[in-house]
Structure 1
Amino acid sequence: MAGPIGTAPADGTRPAASGSNYGPALTLLASLFFMWGFITVINGTLLPHLRSVFDLNYTQTTLIESVWFIAYFFASIPSAKLIERIGYQKSMVVGLLVMAAGALGMVPAARIPSFEVTLTALFVIASGITLLQVAANPYVAVVGPPETASSRLNLVQAFNSLGTTLAPLFGGYLILGRTAGGTAEAGRVLTPAERLADAQSVILPYLIVAAVLVGLAVVIARFPLPAMGQATSRVAREERKRHSLWRHRNLVFGVPAIFIYLIAEIGVGNLFVNFVSQPDIGNLTNQQASNYLFLLWGGMMVGRFVGSALMQKIPAETVLAAFSVGAFVVMLATVFTTGPVAMWSLILVGLFHSIMFPTIFTLGIRGLGPLTEEGSGLLIMAIAGGALVVVQGWLADRYGLQPSFLLTAACELYILFYALWGAKPTRALPDVQAVPQN
C-alpha cells in the first residue's frame, strides 16, 4: 500500500505520540469499522433470501460472496493509489460514498429483479469497503506503540464486531422477517408472485444503509482528522528500496494466513443460516436462524474485547495459537455431531475467530519498518480469500453441507502453524509509528 502512514520528521527526531492525541480520531475510525462490519454481515441474511428468490444452489449462493471478496483483490491497489493522491480523510469520504452508491444500486436490482445487477451492486459496495480497509487498518496499527498494536487493533475491531452482531437482527427483521421465503418452512417452493414480492423487500433496508453512509461521509469530511506528514514520504520511499518484503517470514506466511482465515470466517457466516435451519440441526426458519447468527457475531465482539485485554500481558502469537486450537475443536464438533451440539459448536467458533484477523494483520507487519505500507497493502489484498468460499459451496453441493465444514477445520490448522512458527519475524527492522502533522 502506498501512502505515508508511518513517518518521522525529516530531522530524525520523533515527537511523542500519546494515545490521547488520537482518541477522537480512533473513535471516528471505530464508526467506520462498525459500518463495514454491519454491511458485510447483512450478506449473511441476504444470501438465504437471494437463494429463495432466484432459486440458487449452494455454489451459486456462495458465488455471491465470492464476487464481494474479489473486489478486495481488484480494488486494493487502486485504493492505495487514491490514498497517496488525495490523502486518508478524503479517501474515507470517497469510500463511504462508493458504498452508498452500491447500496442504492440494490434498489433497481430488486425492482427488476436481476441477479446480475445485484452482483454488480454488491461489488461496488465491497470496493468502497476495500478503500476504507486499506486506509483504516494500518492507520490503527501504527498510530500508537508497536508493542500494543495487536491489542489496539483488536479493540477497534471489536466495534466492527458490534456491527456484525447487530446486522443479523436488522436483516432478519427487515429482510427475512418480511418475506415469504424467510418465514416459510425449509424446502417450501415459492410462487413467482412471492419471489417478486420477496425481491423488493430489500429496498427499504438498503435505502436506510445508503442514508447512514452519506451522513457518516459528511461527518468525516468535516472532522479535523489528524493528517500524517507528507514531507518525509520521499525519504521513506528511498529507504524502502534497500529492503525486500520477501525476507520477512511473518509477512510471507501472514498473507496466506489472512487469505485462509477469510475462507473460514466467511464460510461459517454465509452458510450458518442454512446449516442451523436443517431439520437434524436446529429445525428453524431462516428468520429464526438469523437470531442465532446474532450470537455468532456477538461472540466475535466479546472475543475481541477479551483478546485485547489478554494481549496486554500475553504475547499476541500465544493468544492466537490458543484461539486457533479452540476453533479447530468446535469445528470438529460441528461436523461430527447433530442437533443443539452441532448448532452451538458453530455459534461458538465466532468467539475463537474473533482475534484472528487483527492479530494476524499486526503480526504480519511487525518488524517491517519502512516496508510497513507495502506489507499492509498485501495483507488487505489477501482478504480476497473470502472469494474462495465458493469452494465450500461446491463441497456442500457434492458431499453435504455439514461435511463441508471440514474445510473450515483445515483452515484453523494453518492459523495454528502461523501462530507457532510463521509469525516469528526474520530480518526485523525498527517499527514505524505514525505522528501527527504539525
Structure 2
Amino acid sequence: MELSTQTVAVKSPSRTKNYLVPLILVTSLFFLWGFAHNLDPILIPHLKRSFTLTAVQATLVDSAVFIAYFIMAIPAGIIMKKYGYKSSIIIGLLIFATGSFLFIPAANTQLYGFFLVALFIIACGLTILETAANPYISSLGDAKTSVLRLNFAQSFNGLAAALAPVIGARLILTKGHTDNELNAMTEGAKKLALAAEASSVKTPYLVLGGILVLIAILFSLVKLPKIQTTGEHVAGKNILHAFKHKHLSWGVAAQFFYVGAQVCVFSLFILYATKSAGITDVQAADYLGICGIAFLIGRFVGTGLNVFIKPQYLLASYAVINIALCLVAIFAHGMITVYTVIGICFFMSIMFPTIFSLGIKDLGGDTEFGSSLIVMSIVGGAILPRVFAMVGESIDNIQYGYTVPLVCFIVVAWFGWKGHKIKTESN
C-alpha cells in the first residue's frame, strides 16, 4: 500500500463525511502517545528519588524510550507496508498497552531496569503508531493542506502535554514523604518508604493500558478509508534509496536535533526549574503543565499562521526566536527562567509536524521509508538529554545544559531556511 504526500489521495474523495470517525480515531492516537511521552518528565524526578539516581542516570528513562524509536523505525515501516495502516495501528496500540501493564510487575520487583524495559516496550508501540499515523493523516485529504492537517492532529499531542504533567504529578509525585521525613528515618525504613513511592505508578499505567486496549478494539471495528495512489507512484527500492532526496536527509537531521531539544526541555524541566527558580517539584510540574498549554496554543496558532505564511519560513523564524530564548534560559535567574522555557515550548510547537511534512514531501514510492527514517531520527531524544545532563553536572549548573537545545535550534533554523528545498539525485 504505497503513499505520497503529493500523489496519494483518499479513495472516493467526494465522500468526505465518511472520514469523520477515522479522523477522530487517528487523531486520538496523537493524544495518547503525547500523554505517554509527557508522563516521562514526571517519572524522571520520581524514579531519580526512589532509586537515588544521578540526573544522568535518570535520563535513561528518555534513552529507553527513544532508542526504541531508532530500533523499531525500520520494522515499523515494514509492518506498515506489509499489513497496511489499520493493522499497524492495532499492533502498535497492543504493544503500547503491554508496556503499560508491565509497570505493575516493575513496581512490584522494585527494579529500575524493569521500568526501563517497560518504557522501551511502550516506545516500540509508539514507533509503529507514529510511523503509520503521521503519513496517514498527511494523505487523508488534499495534498496542499497536508501540513495543516498534520499540525491540527499534532495539536492534540499538545493537549496531552498540558494535561499529563498536572495529572501525573498528583497521581505520582504527591504520594511520598518529604525530604525531612526521609532523613529522620533509619536506612531500612527509608528504603521501604522509597520502594512504596515507586509503586505509585501502578494505577496510572494500569488505567492507560486498559484505555489502549479499548481503542484497539474500536479500530478493529471501524473501516478506515483506503489510500489510493496514482499511476505515477513507483514503489521505493530500499531504505537507502530514499537518501537520494536531499531534503529528506536534512529532514532526518533536523528531526534528530528538534526531538532532542524538545525532550531536553520537557523531560528535564522539573530538575531545571527547581534549581533555576527555587520552586518545589509539584510547583514545577504545574508550570510544566503550563508549558504544555503553551505548546498546545502554539500548535493551533501555528496551524492558523500556516494559511498565510509558508511552513518553512514559520519554522525558521520560530527556531531563531528559540535560539534567543535559550540564551535567557542559560544566564537568567529566578522565575524569568520558567517563563522563558514556557516561551520556548510555544515556539517549538509546530516544529515536529512541519519538519515531518517537509521532509517527506514529494518522495513518491520512498514515502514509507522516508517516514521510517524520520521516525528513526527521534533517537535524538535518547542522546541529547544525557548530553544536557552531563553539561549541567560537569559545570554544577543545570542551566548551562540549555546550550544543547540552542545548538539544536540552529540546525532546525537551517532546515527551514535552506535544507527543506527539494533536490533529488538522479539514479
The TM-score normalised by the length of structure 1 is 0.89
Helix, strand or coil at the partner of 1:87: helix
Check conservation: 1:66, 1:387, Cα contact below 8 A.
yes
In 2, the alpha carbon distance for the partners of 1:164 and 1:18 equals 33
Partner of 1:219: 218
Q: Which amino acid aligns with 2:281?
A: N
Letter aligned with residue 3 of structure 2:
I
Asked if residue 393 in structure 1 is aligned to residue 393 in structure 2, the reply is no
Looking at structure 1, the residues matched to 272 and 5 of structure 2 have their Cα atoms a distance apart, in angstroms, of: 48
Aligned equivalent of 2:304, options 300, 303, 309: 309
Spell out, residue by residue over 1:189-232, the C-alpha distance to the aligned partner (whole angstroms, 9 max, x if none): 98212211101111111111111111111111111211335xx7
Give SS of 2:345's match.
helix
Q: Which residue of 1 aligns with 2:136?
A: 139
Q: Give the AA of the match of 1:112.
A: T
5+ unaligned residues in a row in structure 1: which ranges? Answer: 430-438
Cα deviation code 1:63-114 (max 9, x no counterpart): 2211110000111111122222322112211111111111111111111100
SS in structure 1 at match of 2:253: helix
Distance 1:361 1:117, change over 3 A: same
Cα distance, 1:375–1:17 mapped onto 2, change above 3 Å: farther
Question: In the alignment, which of 245, 248, 268 is matched to residue 271 of structure 1?
Answer: 268
- Name the structure 1 match of 2:2: 4
Partner in structure 2 of residue 73 of structure 1: 70
Are 1:340 and 2:340 an aligned pair? no
Structure 2 Cα separation of the partners of residues 257 and 143 of structure 1: 25
Query: Is the contact between residue 2 and residue 365 of structure 2 (CA under 8 Å) also seen in structure 1?
Result: no
| Corresponding residue of 2:36 | 39
After superposition, give the CA deviation of every residue in 1:230-272 in whole Å (9 maximum; x if it has no partner): xx7998455768x953332211111010001111000111110
CA drift at 1:344: 0.9
Partners of 1:240 and 1:46 in 2: CA distance: 41
One-letter amino acid matched to 1:202: V
How far apart are the structure 1 equivalents of 2:400 and 2:89?
A: 40
Q: Alpha carbons of 1:32 and 1:428: their partners in 2 closer, same or farther (altered >3 Å)?
A: farther
Which deviates further from its counterpart, 283-292 or 332-341?
283-292
Superimposed CA distance per residue, residues 21-62 of structure 1 (whole angstroms, 9 cap, x where no aligned partner) = 533222111110000000111011011000000111111111
- Asked if residue 170 in structure 1 is aligned to residue 167 in structure 2, the reply is yes
Name the counterpart of 1:432: none
Equivalent positions of 1:16-95 (< 5 A) are 16=13, 20-95=17-92
Q: 1:261 aligns with which of 255, 258, 261?
A: 258
Task: List per-residue Cα deviations over 1:363-407 (Å, max 9, x = no partner).
Answer: 111222232222111111111111112111221221221101111
Q: Which residue of 1 aligns with 2:323?
A: 328
Cα distance, 1:24–1:336 mapped onto 2, change above 3 Å: same
**CA apart distance, 1:186:** 13
Whole-angstrom distance in 1 between the partners of 2:241 and 2:51: 48
Tell me the equivalent position of 1:203. 202
Q: Which moved more, 1:79-88 or 1:285-294?
A: 79-88
Question: Separation in 2 of the partners of 1:246 and 1:345?
Answer: 37
Q: Is the 8 A contact 1:95 1:132 kept in 2?
A: yes
- Greater shift after overlay, 281-290 or 194-203? 281-290
Q: Secondary structure at the match of 1:51?
A: helix
- For residues 155-194 of structure 1, what are the structure 2 equivalents within 5 Å? 155-180=152-177, 184=179, 191-194=190-193
| CA–CA distance in structure 1, aligned partners of residues 159 and 405 of structure 2 | 23
The separation in 1 between residues aligned to 2:112 and 2:175, in whole angstroms, is 20
Distance (Å, rounded) in 1 between the aligned partners of 2:108 and 2:191: 14
Counterpart contact for 2:5–2:360, Cα < 8 Å? no
Letter in 1 for 2:387: V
Question: Relative to structure 2, which stretch is displaced further, 214-223 or 28-37?
Answer: 214-223
Q: State which of 366, 379, 387 in structure 2 corresponds to 1:384.
A: 379
Q: CA-to-partner distance for each residue in 1:106-145, whole Å, 9 max, x for gaps?
A: 1111111001111100000000000100100011112222
Q: Return the match for 2:248 from 237, 247, 251.
A: 251
The amino acid that maps onto 2:156 is F
Structure 2 residue 389 is the aligned partner of structure 1 residue 420:
no
Q: 1:62 to 1:186 in 2, by over 3 A?
A: farther
Mapped partners of 1:14, 1:198: distance in 2: 52
What is the rounded CA distance, in whole Å, between the counterparts of 2:101 and 2:126 in structure 1?
Answer: 15
After superposition, the Cα gap between the structure-2 partners of 1:391 and 1:185, relative to the gap in structure 1 and judged at 3 Å, is: farther
Q: Check whether the contact 2:253–2:377 (CA below 8 A) recurs between aligned residues.
A: yes
Kindly tell me: are residues 185 and 44 of structure 1, through their superposed partners in 2, closer, same or farther at Cα, counting changes over 3 Å? farther
Task: Indicate conservation of the 8 Å contact 1:367/1:428, yes or no.
Answer: no
**Cα contact 1:266–1:386 (8 A) shared by 2:** yes
Partners in 1 of 2:30 and 2:184 — Cα distance? 38
Q: Distance in 1 between matches of 2:280 and 2:154?
A: 31
Kindly provide the amino acid, as one letter, of the partner of residue 39 in structure 1: A
1:335 maps to amino acid: I
RMSD after superposition = 2.7
The 1:22–1:5 alpha-carbon spacing in structure 2 relative to 1, beyond 3 Å, is farther
Between the aligned partners of 2:318 and 2:71, the Cα distance in structure 1 is 31
Q: 2:76, 2:372 within 8 Å by CA — same for their partners in 1?
A: no
Going from structure 1 to structure 2, the CA distance change for 1:150 and 1:179 (only over 3 Å counts) comes to: same
Letter of the 1:216 counterpart: I
Q: Which amino acid aligns with 1:94?
A: I
**Corresponding position of 1:434:** none
Q: Percent identity?
A: 34
